[in-house]
Amino acid sequence: MAGYILKLDNLSRSHSLKVYSEEVEINTHFPTQTLRDKIKIGEIEDVAIQMDPTQNDPRYCIVSIKGKGRLNYTIPELETYQARHLKSTIETQRNEFQRKAESGKSESKLASALKNFPVIRKRFG
């Protein structure tokens, strides 16, 4: 996989994220270990930003990433500009992923239509 597009750490360094072209990697850091989760861009349904009630400061917020099924991730203590940048990056990658998926479907429909066309089948089949 190619390098990441975006890398962020939250204020307390308890969470870090890397956004790749096809997935988002979420690391939750504990004193003795790190848990790493990966969610594919195509599985992300929503990215929500809300003010962080523990900070009581509009410069910090919480980002919630909702995936298909029961995939839900919450990243606390992100600065507001980081959260907005994260949301726009994920949405851009998700739109790109959907565009690629739709173009792949249309290409396969065209290929199957051409295979079924009698003149082409006689000449090239």
Residue 58's pLDDT band (cuts 50, 70, 90): confident
Domain residue extents for the chain? 6-124
Give the per-residue pLDDT at 113: 63
Q: Is the per-residue pLDDT at 55 higher than 80?
A: no
Q: How far apart are CA 68 and CA 88, in angstroms?
A: 19
CATH architecture label of 6-124: Roll (2.30)
Q: Is the per-residue pLDDT at 44 higher than 70?
A: yes
Q: How far apart are CA 101 and CA 39, in angstroms?
A: 17
Q: Is the per-residue pLDDT at 59 higher than 80?
A: yes
Stretch 76-104: mean pLDDT: 90
Mean pLDDT of the chain: 84
Q: Is the per-residue pLDDT at 69 higher than 60?
A: yes
Contact call for residues 18 and 25 (beta carbons, < 8 A):
yes
